[in-house]
Amino acid sequence: MNVVFDTGVLVAAFTTRGTCATLFEITLNRHRLFLSPHLLKESIHAFQAIVHLPQKHIRDILRYVREVGSIVEPAPLARRTCAHRPDDRILALAGHVRADCLVTADLDLLSVKTYRSVRIVDPRRFWEINMLKQSGPVPDFRARAQKRKGGELSMATKCCGGAKKAVTKAKKTTKKKAAKKSR
């Protein structure tokens, strides 16, 4: 299955524990992940401006994502489909690679539902699609990654762990600064 994650889902995969991180692991194990230079640029902005990750973590994440994903430069859409221009770029990528699913939490994209033959689904629905295709219990991808690497954590797990620690530290620093200002 060809899969495209939008910026929000990709960033969440590396900065939160939960559905998006698990879906990223599932995608790497079962599907092909497609990205574009524009998507990577948006992700860098989100990691810097919204999440406040250190540059080292951003470089590690991007290096890893480039290794495991396929980078494609799609042609722009002939006509606008979404109100937000960057959403059209995500649709262009999904259409260009003939993705089976575009995974997003963006309400504008989700309202489109399908673009050409691309299903536009939220992370929960993508989870359901993957679990329907699998019989038996949900696999522990982190344990599997450790076995595969001889007990060592996979790069995705390392990147996630470092990024999550940095996010927690940034939140604490922001709270301390806010507390100082209010005094």
Beta bridge partners, 115, equal 118
Q: Bigger pLDDT: 173 or 145? A: 173
Mean pLDDT of all residues in 123-148 = 65
Residue 45 CA: distances (Å) to CA of 3, 79, 167:
22, 26, 15
Of 14, 28, 16, residue with least CA distance to 145: 28
The total number of structural domains that make up the chain = 1
For residue 153, give the amino acid letter.
L
Residue 105 in tokens: 């939490």
pLDDT of residue 60: 94
- Say how far apart CA 40 and CA 91 lie, in whole Å: 15
pLDDT of residue 148: 43
- Structure confidence by residue, pLDDT tens digits, 27-43: 999 999 999 999 999 99
Instruction: Give the range of the structural domain holding residue 111, as residue numbers without chain letter.
Output: 2-182
- Say how far apart CA 98 and CA 4 lie, in whole Å: 10
- Structure confidence by residue, pLDDT tens digits, 33-92: 999 999 999 999 999 999 999 999 999 999 999 999 999 999 888 787 777 788 889 999
The CATH number for 134's domain is 3.40.50.1010
- Structure confidence by residue, pLDDT tens digits, 109-135: 999 999 999 999 999 999 998 887 665
- Say how far apart CA 71 and CA 32 lie, in whole Å: 11
Q: The pTM is what? A: 0.74
